[in-house]
Structure 1
Amino acid sequence: MNRSIHKIIEEQIKRWELGNIQAVPLTQTTNVITISRESGSRGLQVAEKLADQIGFDLFHHEILEAMIETSKTSKALLETLDERGMNIVDDIVSALVHEHHLWPDDYSKLLLRILNTIGKHGNAIILGRGGNCALNKFNILRVRIVAPASMRREYIQTTRDLSFDDAQKQMISTDANRSAFVKRYFNSDASDPANYDLILNTGTLSVEKTVRLIKCAIGAAWNDENQ
């Protein structure tokens, strides 16, 4: 495992352990944002800037996969919840498996438990990995970042120094793999608008405006909850 990723996980565990005393009840406030994105839509940039501005922890693909690997040999991650909290997570995972007619393997069981552990601790942004499906029992904001195919391809081509054809192939392949992942592990359609609360187009919106709109949606959710 990459040493820096390992360090990030260790620091995350410490923050969770220190924060357990002030744990937020399951649906008291919207303190988790899930971000799904099309390849090349600059969803990672949006997630990073949003996390920086609102002070939430960002969990992207590499961190989540490293957490799964860590959990295979260590219970430290999942034990950051008290006994009651862990029971709630287990109940949620069981309900997800039943409601979505899933046949979970070892990987998906760990993924579901880790995503729901993150959700229970709160103050988190989860990028990809079906977070919007896994955390449907939580009071979350589910965001989808999209953009026209031509703009996404051009972005991939420029940032990764690829030919036109290679950028096109990578864009199609990445989107197909992400859709297949969500279908396999959550029996859901990643492109279905009904799976999201907010869909934003970075083809017409800058990253900065996109982040601003998400923050407005978070603020509106918080205001609704406090009325």
Structure 2
Amino acid sequence: MSVITISRQLGSHGGRVARALARKLDWKFADKSTINGVIEQYGLVHLDNIYGDHAPTFWDLYREDSVWTIEWMDKTIGAIAAQGDVVILGRGAFVVLGGYVDALNVLITAPLDIRAHRIALRDGITDEAAVDKINADDKTRRRFTKRIYSADWADPANFDLVLDTGELSDEAVVDRIIAAHNEKLANKGDGPSVADIAVDSLLADSIKGVLK
């Protein structure tokens, strides 16, 4: 059992790649809605206030609901990973699972002009407006991981693999991720495994109810 995390820049096709990867591997798939669904079952309904359109302020992180939400987000990501054979999209999973020998952490990127053109077509806006949207999204993601995890979301050193969909097709990216995953498992050595993550039974049951 293992896990692959996918982080992505807006307009990089990272979400499409993650879903295609899960389909090709016949693995489970978890994204924002999956993680939120688990957390909301525990009465923590403020996740979007932490990682929505606006990054949290310094003091937001010390509000009781935010602290509990972050803790449950980490627990949920770990518990999803413990299920094995799952692709997790976003939510800082690359940090939470960064120390596990059977977790492959991938960043999907693309040049700004390509990302902007894709978003412009998707949202029916100009390329210039799309650039503004992308810059705001990049800033939110960077601030979120920096403030909550003290990690640089855009630093390639935080990932096992960085792939550019401006150079590669989605299908080629999926194939490269699978090859890198197989290579990592073949040479993983000693270290903590996602299968060893201790998961509360109630949390595990909740995850099984939403994980597809």
TM-score, L = length of structure 1? 0.70
Which residues of 2 match residues 200-215 of structure 1 at below 5 A?
Answer: 200-215=163-178
Q: Distance in 1 between matches of 2:110 and 2:34?
A: 25
Q: How far is the alpha carbon of 1:225 from its aligned partner?
A: 4.7
Q: Distance in 1 between matches of 2:120 and 2:153?
A: 24
1:65 counterpart = 2:36: yes
Structure with greater contact order relative to length (CA < 8 Å, sep ≥ 6): 2
Q: Distance in 2 between matches of 1:181 and 1:70?
A: 23
Deviations 1:11-62 (A, max 9, x none): xxxxxxxxxxxxxxxxxx5x10011111100000100100000011111122
1:172 counterpart = 2:135: yes
The equivalent residue for 1:122 is 84
Q: How far is the alpha carbon of 1:138 from its aligned partner?
A: 2.1
Unaligned runs of 5+ in 2: 45-60, 190-212
**1:105 equivalent among 55, 67, 78:** 67
Q: CA RMSD in A?
A: 1.8
More helix as a share of residues:
1
Does structure 1 retain, via aligned residues, the 8 Å contact 2:5–2:90? yes
Q: Distance in 1 between matches of 2:5 and 2:42?
A: 22
Query: Structure 1: which amino acid aligns with 2:125?
Result: L
Does structure 1 retain, via aligned residues, the 8 Å contact 2:6–2:89? yes
SS of equivalent residue, structure 1 residue 72: coil
Query: Structure 1: which amino acid aligns with 2:163?
Result: L
Q: In 2 relative to 1, CA 119–204 (structure 1 residues): closer, same or farther, beyond 3 Å?
A: same
Which residues of 2 match residues 14-93 of structure 1 at below 5 A?
Answer: 31-72=2-43
SS of equivalent residue, structure 2 residue 105: strand
SS of equivalent residue, structure 1 residue 218: helix
The equivalent residue for 2:186 is 223
The equivalent residue for 1:150 is 113
Q: How far is the alpha carbon of 1:221 from its aligned partner?
A: 2.0
Q: How far is the alpha carbon of 1:223 from its aligned partner?
A: 2.6
SS of equivalent residue, structure 1 residue 133: helix
Unaligned runs of 5+ in 1: 1-28, 74-101
Say how many residue pairs are matched: 169
SS of equivalent residue, structure 2 residue 154: coil
Which residues of 2 match residues 171-190 of structure 1 at below 5 A?
Answer: 171-190=134-153
